[in-house]
Amino acid sequence: PKVELQDLTGGRPGSIIETEEELKRKDEIFAELESGERSYDDAKVKIDDYGDPDEDIDGALFDIDDPNALDSSTLGVYNIFDLKSKFDYEWTPESGDPDPNILDPALDYVKEPEKTEEGIEFGWDPIFGSSNPIDTRTVTTPVDSYMIDDQTRDDSLLEPLFPPNDPEISFNEDIVQFRKSMKVIDTFIDPFVGEELPVPRHVAKWHGYPEQMAFPEKNYTNNRFTAPEDLTDFDAMTPHRARVRAVELARAKNAEWLPEGVSEKWHQDQRQPYENHGTLVGTLKKADYIDEEKVNEIQPALDVLKSSVELLSIENDGTVFRFAYHGLMKNKFGMAAWTETLIRDLGVECTGVVFETGFRKRDPIHDGGFGWYGPY
């Protein structure tokens, strides 16, 4: 942007240290001095104590008579407003300028980076990513010098390569067109990169995009499937009722994020294969037959567990025991591991213990003191 340039340093050498607030305050002080509202007392400032730089040349920081000294007036004027200026490579989408990162449709580019036999991009590293200089912004269209390019050259300034009406002209043109049709990537070897990674000479410059400092503003209902007229009006509820309703929606499978019935259908689809094969896993169904001898062997363990479990079936040739678990959900895995230990301590072979809880996923009575836990 064009800004009004001015000397904000007051003629003093060195870097700019004033802020915009300090500059504004300085202008106010100068205006008060000119209007007479502020007086300048030499006795208080004691400006004479600073001495005269022209009289003390040896101790002066700047020698104005030095012929080799740089003249600041020849270096241009730099002020704090230059910090708000924009370099050529900077781009602001809000300004309405065209995106410089868009590829030129008049040129051809590499379709995809080179890959190894395993299908992995050449030079790709799992930590640092891609390192191949030849990427999808590499230009494959041959780029000629401006002196010989058809769009920029001036034949009057060039010495003719062939005499007029020379048959070699058409032959040479065929060779040139054949060379261009091959679309060989013009590369060079960078000593700092190495010979295994040739660097292309012609690439589409990447200007980048401004860093996103915050997420774009969106309506908080933008991800909901519920119609606006069907949304829950929390503003019309009391704080207690609003919290209770929020807990219900958060724990329900059919919250306002999904239409009615979607969650139930998903769970039914997940359960349907087990229903088709008639398996007992995942249900509270009891087996038609339970070996009473095995039950007697594990009876001491059942006496310890008492009413917290109920034996449903014995699977896998009598080594896997299924129980209906009635205890707290937070203790489910620990109780299953302890039950397996109790059975093994009795000398009974046990390869696993399964605790079935059906559709119960939490403890209503102990879960925040509120008994509602959703339609499961």
The pLDDT tens digits of the residues spanning 55-71 come to: 555 554 555 566 777 77
| 327-334: Cβ within 8 A, 24+ apart | 328/363, 328/366, 329/357, 329/360, 329/361, 329/362, 329/363, 330/363, 332/357
Read off the pLDDT band of 281 (50, 70, 90). confident
Which carries the bigger pLDDT value, residue 127 or residue 169?
A: 127
CA 295 to mean position of chain CA atoms: 57
Where does residue 214 fall: left (phi above 0), alpha (psi -120 to 50 degrees), or beta otherwise?
beta
Which carries the bigger pLDDT value, residue 46 or residue 334?
A: 334
Q: Which pLDDT belongs to residue 15?
A: 47
Average pLDDT, the chain: 79
Nearest to 342 by CA among 284, 288, 297: 297
**Mean pLDDT, residues 175-182 taken together:** 82
Give the least confident one: 124-133, 145-154, 275-284, 339-348: 145-154
Nearest to 183 by CA among 111, 77, 94: 111
Give the least confident one: 66-80, 100-114, 308-322, 329-343: 66-80
**Mean pLDDT, residues 69-81 taken together:** 73
Q: In angstroms, rounded to a whole number, what is the distance separating the alpha carbons of residues 24 and 18?
A: 10
Where does residue 358 fall: left (phi above 0), alpha (psi -120 to 50 degrees), or beta otherwise?
left
**Structure-token match 């241009």, residue found:** 76
Residue 290, CA distances (Å) to 64, 277, 296 in order: 109, 20, 11
Q: Edge-to-edge strand order for the sheet containing 352-356? A: 309-315, 320-325, 352-356
Q: In angstroms, rounded to a whole number, what is the distance separating the alpha carbons of residues 264 and 161?
A: 81
* DSSP H or E run through 262: helix 262-277
Residue 245 has pLDDT above 60, yes or no: yes
Residue 11 has pLDDT above 80, yes or no: no
